[in-house]
Amino acid sequence: MLPATVGEAARRFGDRTAYVAEAGWTLSYADIDRVSDEAAVGLAHVGLGHGDVAAIVLPPGPDFLIAYIAIAKLGAITAGVNDRLSARERELVLDRAEPRLVVAAPGFGDERFATVECAPATGVDQILAPLRRRGETPALLPADPDRDVAIIFTSGTTGVPKGARYGNRQLAFITHADLGDTWDTGGRSFTGTSFAHLGFVTKLAGNLRRGGVQFMMTRWRADDALALLERERLTTVAGVPTQLALMLRRPDFDRYDLSSVAFIVAGGGPITPGLAEEARARFGARLATRYSCTEAGIGLGTAFDAPDEDAVVSVGRPLPGVSLSLRDPDDPDRDVGAGVGTIGEVCLRSGACMTGYWHDPEATRAAFTADGFVRTGDLGALDDRGRLRLVGRSKEMYVRGGYNVYPVEVEAALSSHPQVAAVAVVPRADPVMGEVGVACVVPRDPGAPPTLGGIREYLGGALAAYKVPESIVVLEALPLTAGEKIDRRALGDAVTAAVNDHGAAD
């Protein structure tokens, strides 16, 4: 599916610029097809074949792009490894992938596996230079919707990462869900997340069909992103909510001319109401949100032309072809119903769902319900307009004095506090209540952080008393995982340290 899309994009768009490297040189649609052909022949020459796994340990950029396509042209399987992981984390991912070959940046290889190290390209001719067989093309693959294309690894914040298998069938479904049968819809945007993750791997075919131009960022930084938006007159901002928040927190945000930005797409995690409203207002753009998980491929979302409140109060409604079911977390085969306000585990079913976990049948069985829904681990409830409101992760919920508290609900209420730039709520042990909430807060003005009393007063009319945090920890920034999501394990460590230092977290 991906090789055919690459070839058709090259035919349609030819020398039109598809990607701009961070250093400024360009890669056309024709270049992508030609160079990936040459890299595919080179990969075959070093022994990679149909059904083999090739791990890519490269930063986001042209080399990763071409390697992924080249591997697909051989009918082999890409296992992307986030280059921002620690050495030990990379080892765990490679252990699970068991690759026949590793294509890595210098110093990121693994002596346990055959490895080809490729220095970052400085132009089209240097992309994957040690591998390419100039002027050669691989044999065309027969169509096979069941052929595996990629293994996408989970974040691993709760254990050893698991690899979700994605094939031609899922990529075709996702591309059709996004674009239907259309081509050449255009657009100018940047790439701001790891190429090893769900978004790049499953959306590449659709991005190529759009015929637009994407500016590559090897390392995403808020000030660089804003400068790029202004300089290149980009039309779309796409990223995780954390990236939006970091851009909006820049003291010089309002000095940038962002009048070209027409669309914001937030995915990879729920966006808080305060952040949604601020992003829409300060960028002066329409906002759409996307909600899914690594295992489900696609899920729910809001539309650019939907009422503004949709993206503020919910993660939207199921996308075309996606079924939503709320299940009992302790008995996932029991549907708790679609009644307004009924909380259940969010489960999704569509043609985009992973085939299963790579070499892990037990985890695969646990990830699906008996009738084929993927368990996301998130808890949510429908409102009276059929929109899904997330209330937290099933493993993040804590119990205070016998009452369930969902951190996402508290974070949503606090996100509009005038002194709060970012917030996450985690529990700490309490001898009387069992667990109580701790608000980990990044202040808008470091010189005037919010107080516990001020936060409790602010929440008093919005939440039941048992949901209101009983401690506060003020941080310069929320810790993030390699996937740019809030690292709640690290937050728990920060809370523990604050308690040990001061006896309480405020």
Give the pLDDT confidence of 231-276 residue by residue, as tens digits: 999 999 998 888 898 899 899 999 999 999 999 999 877 788 888 9
Confidence of residue 158 (pLDDT cuts 50, 70, 90): very low
Is residue 503 very low, low, confident or very high in pLDDT (cuts 50, 70, 90)?
low
Question: In angstroms, how far is CA 186 from the centroid of its own chain?
Answer: 22
**H-type helices in 211-318, by residue range?**
222-231, 241-248, 273-283, 309-313
- Residue 377: in which H helix or E strand, if any? strand 374-382
Over residues 210-218, mean pLDDT: 95
- For the segment 449-477, the average pLDDT, to the nearest whole number, is 88
Q: Given a cut of 80, is residue 411 above it in pLDDT?
A: yes
For residue range 326-340, list pLDDT tens digits in order: 999 889 999 998 888
What per-residue confidence (pLDDT) applies to 157? 47
Q: How far apart are CA 399 and CA 464, in angstroms?
A: 14
Nearest-5° Cα angle at 460, 455 to 461: 130
Neighbouring residues of 423: CB distance < 8 A, sequence distance ≥ 6: 272, 411, 414, 415, 417, 439, 440, 441, 442
502 pLDDT above the threshold of 60: no
Q: How confident is the model at residue 362 (pLDDT cuts 50, 70, 90)?
A: very high
- Tell me the average pLDDT of the chain: 90
Answer for the pair 354, 374: CB distance below 8 angstroms, yes or no: yes
Domain with CATH 3.30.300.30 in the chain: 398-502
Closest CA to 67 of 115, 111, 110, 127: 127
How large is the average pLDDT for residues 151-167?
80
CATH homologous superfamily of 398-502: ANL, C-terminal domain (3.30.300.30)
Q: What is the CATH number of domain 1-179+194-209?
A: 3.40.50.12780
Per-residue model confidence (pLDDT) at position 483 = 64
pLDDT at 193: 85
Task: Give the model's confidence band at 501: pLDDT under 50 very low, under 70 low, under 90 confident, else very high.
Answer: low
Q: Which two tokens stand for residue 105?
A: 């940046």
Q: Give span(s): CATH 3.40.50.12780, the chain.
A: 1-179+194-209
Q: Which of 69-73, 394-398, 438-442 has the highest mean pLDDT?
A: 69-73
Q: Report the pLDDT averaged over residues 106-124.
A: 93
Q: How far is Cα 170 from Cα 163, in angstroms, rounded to an integer?
A: 15
Cβ-Cβ contacts under 8 Å for 196 (sequence gap 6 or more): 56, 64, 80, 81, 82, 83, 152, 153
Q: For residue 302, give every residue at least 6 positions away whose Cβ sits within 8 Å of its Cβ, in sequence order, or none.
A: 287, 288, 289, 310, 311, 314, 315, 316, 317
Say yes or no to pLDDT of 506 above 80: no
Average pLDDT over residues 344-359: 96
Nearest to 287 by CA among 319, 309, 320: 309
Angstrom distance (rounded) from CA 84 to CA 165: 22
